[in-house]
Amino acid sequence: MSRIIQGLMRAESLSDEELYNLIQFDLEHGINFFDLADCYGDGRVEEKLGRILSSHKGLREKMIIQTKCSIVRGVNKYYDLSYEHIMESVYNSLKRMNITYLDFLLLHRPDILMDNEEIKKAFMELKEKGLVRHFGVSNFSKEAIEYLKVELGDMILVDQIQLGLGQMRLLEEEISFNINNDDAISHTGGTFFYLKKNHMEIQCWSPFLVGFFEGSIFDSNKYPNINHKLGELAYKYQVSKATIATKFLLMLDKNLKVISGSMNKDHIMEMIVAESITIDKVDWYGLYLAQGKMLP
């Protein structure tokens, strides 16, 4: 399985033929993991994939398909992880994608009103009916996962989190632990090492964005220091800046995967190349420092 996942959040912008060609490109280059959510395009991304899978028999068996549920959009936005909503979401996703099972179902955002017994009931029923093979979460803290594990045990295999050179909360609070600066403030409660300790897969979404959709790290006018360092290492290793930024993440854990949200094949290739290169540890820390972080 490739450590690069093809994210399909932006696939609504593609025609059906363009999306099919993208999937074929991914498969030919070792990417067989595809990430969606029921709220992407209000379900239209799942519908688009469903048309493709219906038109190309045998394609589904080549793909690992992951979707997410809990975000409800409409007149009002809210999160719902009730038994009824999880079951309804899965049935609707399967129908839209014209498939009989999901490889992975992730709980997209934590519903503060969620009940772990209800979630267990939904997961067990989906598992027993063969509708979902594996389960995970997205944007969940250590304590939220621990709450689920009281009922679910080891069923949670994945936590999908924003992580990259532009969003390093998971890392900086560990590196700056017990230092009197802002980076040492605990925002995630030690979630990074908790996930590693429990051998849970970290999936990094929006790996090249700064903060919560504040722009790309490759915008050199806004982020000159990190771009200078990325350019320096790109020259040293004869790859692109995006390859270096991807390798920065892949070095964190052998179970970690990076989600490419790009629909551009050249950009996807830049991320794939990161799997086959090796960079020095001193250069990893050089990237960390170039983002204005400190090493105590």
Average pLDDT of the residues of the chain: 96
**Angle formed by the axes of helices 83-97 and 116-128, to 10°?**
40
pLDDT: is 1 or 197 the higher one?
Answer: 197
Structure confidence at residue 217 (pLDDT): 94
Could you give the CA distance from residue 71 to residue 110 in angstroms, rounded to a whole number?
9
Stated as kind and residue range, the H or E segment containing 54 is helix 44-55
Q: What average pLDDT does range 2-18 have in this prediction?
A: 96
138: β partners: 160
92-149 pLDDT, tens digit per residue, is 999 999 999 999 999 999 999 999 999 999 999 999 999 999 999 999 999 999 999 9
> What is the DSSP secondary structure assignment for residue 216, as one 8-state letter?
B
160: β partners: 138, 203
Superfamily of domain 1-155: NADP-dependent oxidoreductase domain (3.20.20.100)
- Give me the count of residues in the chain: 296
**Residue 139: strand, helix, or coil:** coil
Q: What average pLDDT does range 194-213 have in this prediction?
A: 94
Query: Nearest Cα to 100, choosing from 131, 133, 124, 55?
Result: 131
266-276 pLDDT, tens digit per residue, is 999 999 999 99
Q: How many CB atoms lie within 10 A of CB 42?
A: 12
DSSP string, 152-194: HTT-EEEEEEE-BTTB-HHHHHHHTTT-SSGGGS-SSSSHHHH
pTM of the full structure:
0.95
Structure confidence at residue 188 (pLDDT): 87
**Angle formed by the axes of helices 265-273 and 16-28, to 10°?**
20
Stated as kind and residue range, the H or E segment containing 104 is strand 102-107
**Residue 65 pLDDT greater than 90, yes or no:** yes
**Residue 291 pLDDT greater than 90, yes or no:** yes
**Residue 1 pLDDT greater than 80, yes or no:** no
Structure confidence at residue 187 (pLDDT): 84
